[in-house]
Amino acid sequence: MCGIGNEIKEKEAAGEEAPKGAFNKLIDIVSGCFQPILGPLCASGIIRGLNALLVFLLGTSYNTSGTYLILNAIGDAIFYFLPVILGYTAARKFNVNVVVGMIIGGSLCYPSIQADALSAAGEAIGSIPFIGDYYSRFIGIPFVPANYTSSVVPVLIIVALAALIQKYAKKLIPEAFQNFFVPFFVLLISLPIGFLIIGPVISMLTELLSQGFAAVYSFSPIISGLLVGFAWQILVIFGLHWAIVPLAMVNIENLGYDTILVGQFGTTFALTAALLAMCIKMKDKKKRSLAVPMIISGFCGVTEPGIYGYALPEKKPFIFSCIAAAIGGGVFTFLGGRQYVVGGLGIFGTVSFIDQQIGDATSMYYSFVCILVSMVIGFLLTYFF
């Protein structure tokens, strides 16, 4: 009744012509996994934006209200449980049993194996250089945890691995026993590899990025703004943008403000402007009608629908939005923008640049300059090229 089936036929999957080149294959996989959920993803983004608007209008006391909690649950659910949903769409893409794909995503979201939960439960029992601390072992092998909720890349890689295991399992297991033994071996092999190898490798890349961005900002704030602005959406695709967020939180805690995360503020507006230019030039009425709520969602700070649904598959608009975001971020850091709280998204994030201690809104005015620069460049590049 829900349309969740496993009716993908081998001949249908084999009949699709695979794109050439590693980069094109990667885009095909990522966008192919997001295409089926674009409508609900966009709707959730607008609900999150609505909640951010209400916080802005009603004050921080609204954060504790029941209305906020329910709207937050509705708007954030698809993002929080993204591995489960992508487990389903990735399974269809890789021709894996879709319920197995959802179980893989659900396992990644399981509360007790998240890094935050394990670190809060007790001290680490050891550490692996360049990888991180571990709090438990799996058959004697150290398990270095991470926070997988809202992540994208781990579930895609693990489902791709599951497809390979499923292929060989079907060859080796008699047909009479395949119904339960194939999923058994797929889950038993793919998920431990995911938790023990794939997850820690992505965490290591995140840590390296964190150190790299800190070093770049120490060398030149302007270069940092350009780099963060250009790379932010790319990092979002791979779930590696979390490398920068902890830096911002540490800065706010120690200094009272952050300057590194300032560089990414123009990204949502650059992509939104690129989507607007695409929408104007589109001839397909159906695609145009779906682009409109994505523009609204992007203006509210949620750009995943626009990234995966339109900009990334077309390549050039995505690159143009990265360029525009880089210039906007560079201008913002050049002006000396400071972020005082990690707050709202998109247009609602402008108030995060007000120094509430002394009521100084200088950085908020700089944020408007960043928005203008990012949107104008993103729109013009996409429209004319």
Query: In whole angstroms, what is the distance from residue 213 CA to residue 217 CA?
Result: 6
Give the contacts of 270 (CB within 8 A, at least 6 positions apart): 320, 321, 322, 324, 325, 328, 374, 375, 377, 378
Tokens of 66: 């029941």
pLDDT, position 2: 65
User: pLDDT tens, position by position, for the chain (385 residues)?
Assistant: 566 665 544 444 444 566 666 667 776 787 778 778 877 876 776 777 677 777 767 877 888 899 989 988 998 888 889 899 999 999 999 999 999 999 999 999 999 999 989 999 888 999 988 788 999 999 999 999 988 887 778 898 999 999 999 999 999 999 999 999 999 999 999 999 999 999 888 878 777 776 777 788 778 888 988 999 999 988 877 766 766 765 676 677 667 788 888 899 999 999 999 999 998 988 887 778 778 888 888 888 888 888 888 888 888 999 999 999 999 999 999 998 988 876 667 888 887 887 756 767 888 899 999 999 999 999 999 999 9
pTM score above 0.75? no
- Say what the pLDDT of residue 324 is: 96
| pLDDT of res. 85 | 94
pLDDT for 34: 75
Q: Are 346 and 299 in contact (CB under 8 A)?
A: yes
Residue for token pair 């499923």: 166
Distances 216 to 241, 345, 363 between C-alpha atoms, Å: 16, 25, 21
8 Å CB contact between 126 and 141: no
Q: Report pLDDT for 3.
A: 65
